[in-house]
Structure 1
Amino acid sequence: MKVLSKRQISLINHLTQESGWLATSQAAKMLNISVSTLRRDVEAINLYFTDKGHSVISKPGLGLKLEANDVVPLPLISGDAQVVNILKNKRLVGIATDLLTHSPTPLSISFLAEKYFISRSSIVEDLIKVEKWLECFSLRMIKNHTGTFIDGNDYDIRMALKEIITHSVLCNYHMTDSRIDRFSRVQLIKEFGKDNVANCINLIAFIEDELTCAISEPYYTNLFSHLLVTIRRLEKRIVCPADEAAPVHDNKEWQIAEKAIAWLEQKYTLRFPQIEINYIYQYLVSSGKHPVHAVHPDRGVQDQEALHYAIKLTSLLSQLLKCDLISDQPLLNALVMHIKPMLNRLAFRIIIHNPLLDEIKKELSPVFLAVRNATMQINNYSKHDPPSEDEIAYLTVYIQAAIEKIKENKKIILVCSSGVGTSQLLYSRITKAFPDWEIIDIVPGSRLKETLAEKKCDLIISTIRIEEMMIPVAYVSALFSAKDIIRVTEALFSKRQTQESEYVK
């Protein structure tokens, strides 16, 4: 659920009053914030405006400008506890689900009061809370003499329902390793029916068999939520308008999407609109998958857009984190496989949730911030929307794993001119800073060439100047301070920095 702060709403209000460009420095001054904070606010606003046809454009030398296709709706303030906590209340979730699945059919207050065993006045209070939550999806609650119903386009209604289902599954993420655990299944059965839940699970199993791979989380839950919403809406004979002709694709995923719709039509004896094939196709090409058999990606057939994005990302992160990620081929392959569906999600505006987002932001904060910074820089030259924090958190895990791998199994030679005591202190501090590294020898400068003829190493750490080597050299003080740790990591980073041009070709 995307919400904004009061300051971000204030920025939108300022921009709506401007007929042209608003200077970045002037906007920052009006809000009493730094330019870097202003940039983060613009990113949050554009994320909020995803699917709404609005955006804040930022151009060097000109400033900021609001582009809107229609009247800009008032965003929701994130501090509203009613909105933040609505999905934690079973009754509110039930009422929201009823209204969304029946929309545009009105439901009476008496019907809802009877169903949930509470007074009409309590239902009225609940509807106020649900109404605020629905505003996050550009949906309106209409109340008239016929009852209460949701007004909005089918896509936004589906997104709201998907949010409910996804939260029901992911809020129990830490309880189990299964994809749709028993507790979540009970809750979903209560809201959507046993047969519908079972059919969605069976259909995804059929799709996985056709793909010959397993759909991993959170993509499984995303597809599951979409199918469950589709079935519920079709059961209520609510068909999404076919305004736009869906493109037809000649590939395996499209054929599987066609088979999936045929499977549903046979199960429910209902005719599904053609657009539903396209929806399932979008989820299939936007999902992370685990092949049944190990696959080693061939760089020659890798998606070029994803490859370019991965190369740019590792290049920027190598500079930001002072760590050599450019020459890590396994990392590049893994990123390409992840980024290809990620770019599809951004293109199709498919939102995923990362249940470990808060933990990743807390525990891996430096890497998370660096990845966010890098993706923002890439986005300046990209046709896609910027990745959400959930997407950034998934990328962060790949980068953190690669960084930790870099620190492993390095063979080091120490070059010292000082006495035994000093060299032992240096040895002790290096092994403490890099516990997985192996110091294979400690030698004076005069014996270095002789030692290198006998032993191979990844890095030379020296307290004295030595002649230029093919092996990277880090010059440190005998006391090995925090600055020396940075010098060592920078030396490793520069080891293959020249290889960057080879990857860009």
Structure 2
Amino acid sequence: MAYELNERQQKILKILQNKGDYVTASDLSSQLSVSTKTVYRDIQKISDYHVKNYTFTKKENLGYILTPNVDVEKDEQVIFSSSKERRINLLLYLLSIAPMKTSLLKLSERYFVSQSSIIHDFKYIETKIRPYNLRLVKVNDGTYIDGHQLSINRLMSVIIESFLKQAGDPFSQYHIPKFIEEVRNNYNRLYETKKFLHEIQEEHEILLDQPFYLTLFCNLLSIIEKRTNYSQDFNRKDSFKSMDKQSKAYHMTANLVGKVEHFYSIKLEYCEFNKLYYILKAYKLTSKFLLNKDTEDLMNEKVKLFSKQLVKKVSEEIGHNLEEEELLRDQLTYHLHSMVYRLNHDIYIVNPILESIKTNFRDTFQMVKHCMNQVNKERKFVKILSDEEIGYVTLYFQISIEDRLSKKIPILIECTSGIGTSHLLSEKIKKTFPNIEIKRIVAQHRLKKCDYDDVELVISTVKTHSIIDKPTILVSPILNDEDKMKIDQFVGHYYKKQKVEVI
């Protein structure tokens, strides 16, 4: 029958599923705080309901039992106590199996609800996936989520991140939408996937950082859902080079796949093994473990060119030469090495702080995005540039920009020959303006043009103009309030101008 079980009836089903043994009406009435008559009515409804892949049995003096049929896969049917929980699970399920189709009938049987309830769930889901550039497509032979794999991973990772936070994991997702965050997610598949990843990290003594952990979680969950719910082959578009069977990444993958296959009694396809292997290989590359020497040298030369051209382009955009900054060049090149490898192998890592980067460093992000797209014209270095990856690259340039803005303003103090008064002025400036660096103190009659080369401001007790074109502020040797205000105005204008020039 295609009607929806109420919340209490769903709880009875859940109790029977978890118990795996006979439960009496008296036990059920006690657990649910209702009369046995109410339990009898509910049991009648449940017995009339078509519970796919389960046999519902009533036995005198023993009670009721829900027995899974022999060929039922683990966790194929899911019962939730509220429509909110069901909708989040349904959304995650559709994302996991995309672009595979499913039907109203299958979903109705999966969630113990009517097809009309699933239709209402679809309408709800359609509004929630729109901001992620995804759409729900309904065709004659089923319904599926359509969109780029990166967009699918983004939304999946948010749901997974919410689950991990609820489970007490110390990961930080800054932008979990309220409709996801407010729902308690107790889906068994998530706990099982989390357990697999926890075990391989312990056994191989590694700690996957957040982007790779979430990427691996998304892909593993997707493989499990597809393999346990669909018997036919699917999505064989990924093409990878041969695997290094002696590598740490290969042994980790074999370990992980072995656990999954044993637990679910399934066999993963070659392409599925490959996908997990290359995610772990990309992680190992980031962790300085991977790539044989010849490949690494070839990749490095290409990436060095990418890095060099990108720094040059950004320098042109901001009007400041960053090409001599060795730390930026080295760190950026190393990051791009891993990024190029990931993107050219269709490994789309998620960036949990992307929205924060776009909000707090908006101008830098847009500038870096423009520069990266210019340098990567005609897919010169990578097939596609994602906002996630651009966000990470933005941080390298933002650090350089902030470092440039945080540098102290170099000044020269020009005075008469009175040593005492000049040093008194120097100490007062140091104490009042910590962002000013006094490069030198020079008596007026000893000044040379080269003394002005590396300073941005001249503070003088004797005149209002320097011998070359440098801003000069005339002050009293005791540095009164009016003097401090003039210096403070210069400092404010200086940093404001710097920021405009740099961004």
Normalised by the length of structure 1, the TM-score is 0.58
Q: Aligned-pair distance for 1:427?
A: 11
Supply the distance in 1 between the matched residues of 2:311 and 2:136 (Cα, whole angstroms).
40
Assess if the C-alpha contact under 8 Å between 2:257 and 2:273 holds in 1. Answer: no
SS at match of 1:325: coil
Q: Aligned-pair distance for 1:237?
A: 4.6
Which runs of structure 2 are paired with 1:150-169 in the superposition (5 Å)? 150=144, 162-169=153-160
Q: 1:198 aligns with which of 195, 198, 203?
A: 195
Of structures 1 and 2, the larger Rg is shown by: 2
Alignment pair present for 1:218 and 2:196: no
Q: Aligned-pair distance for 1:361?
A: 2.5
* Unmatched segments (≥5 aa) in structure 2: 1-82, 174-179, 290-295, 459-464, 474-485
**C-alpha distance 417-319 of structure 1, shift in aligned 2 (>3 A):** farther
Partner of residue 18, structure 1: none
Alignment pair present for 1:247 and 2:246: no
Alignment pair present for 1:371 and 2:368: yes
Supply the distance in 2 between the matched residues of 1:281 and 1:431 (Cα, whole angstroms).
58
Partner of residue 278, structure 1: 274
CA RMSD in angstroms comes to: 5.0
Supply the distance in 2 between the matched residues of 1:245 and 1:302 (Cα, whole angstroms).
19
Query: Which is worse superposed, 120-129 or 97-106?
Result: 97-106
Q: 2:105 aligns with which of 103, 108, 112?
A: 108
Q: Aligned-pair distance for 1:167?
A: 0.9
Partner of residue 377, structure 2: 380
SS at match of 2:112: helix
Which runs of structure 2 are paired with 1:228-243 in the superposition (5 Å)? 228-238=221-231, 239-240=233-234, 242=236
Q: Aligned-pair distance for 1:397?
A: 1.8
Assess if the C-alpha contact under 8 Å between 2:409 and 2:437 holds in 1. Answer: yes
What do residues 184-203 of structure 1 show as CA deviations (whole Å, max 9, x unaligned)? 9x966515153333013323
Partner of residue 140, structure 1: 137
Q: 2:387 aligns with which of 380, 389, 407?
A: 389
**C-alpha distance 169-134 of structure 1, shift in aligned 2 (>3 A):** closer
Supply the distance in 2 between the matched residues of 1:323 and 1:99 (Cα, whole angstroms).
48
Assess if the C-alpha contact under 8 Å between 1:410 and 1:437 holds in 2. Answer: yes
**C-alpha distance 275-120 of structure 1, shift in aligned 2 (>3 A):** closer
Q: Aligned-pair distance for 1:166?
A: 0.2
Partner of residue 4, structure 1: none
Partner of residue 412, structure 2: 414
**C-alpha distance 139-249 of structure 1, shift in aligned 2 (>3 A):** farther
Assess if the C-alpha contact under 8 Å between 2:153 and 2:218 holds in 1. Answer: yes
Partner of residue 177, structure 2: none
Normalised by the length of structure 2, the TM-score is 0.58
Percent identity over the alignment? 19
SS at match of 2:412: strand
Partner of residue 446, structure 2: 447
Supply the distance in 2 between the matched residues of 1:193 and 1:214 (Cα, whole angstroms).
19
Supply the distance in 1 between the matched residues of 2:335 and 2:413 (Cα, whole angstroms).
42
Supply the distance in 1 between the matched residues of 2:369 and 2:356 (Cα, whole angstroms).
16
Report how many residues are paired.
373
Alignment pair present for 1:352 and 2:362: no
Assess if the C-alpha contact under 8 Å between 1:368 and 1:396 holds in 2. Answer: yes
What do residues 437-478 of structure 1 show as CA deviations (whole Å, max 9, x unaligned)? 4224343565356997xxxx99323556668xxxxxx83353
Supply the distance in 2 between the matched residues of 1:159 and 1:191 (Cα, whole angstroms).
24
The code of the aligned residue for 1:443 comes to V
The code of the aligned residue for 1:91 comes to R
SS at match of 1:303: helix
The code of the aligned residue for 2:326 comes to Q
**C-alpha distance 282-427 of structure 1, shift in aligned 2 (>3 A):** farther
Q: Aligned-pair distance for 1:221?
A: 0.9
**C-alpha distance 380-235 of structure 1, shift in aligned 2 (>3 A):** same
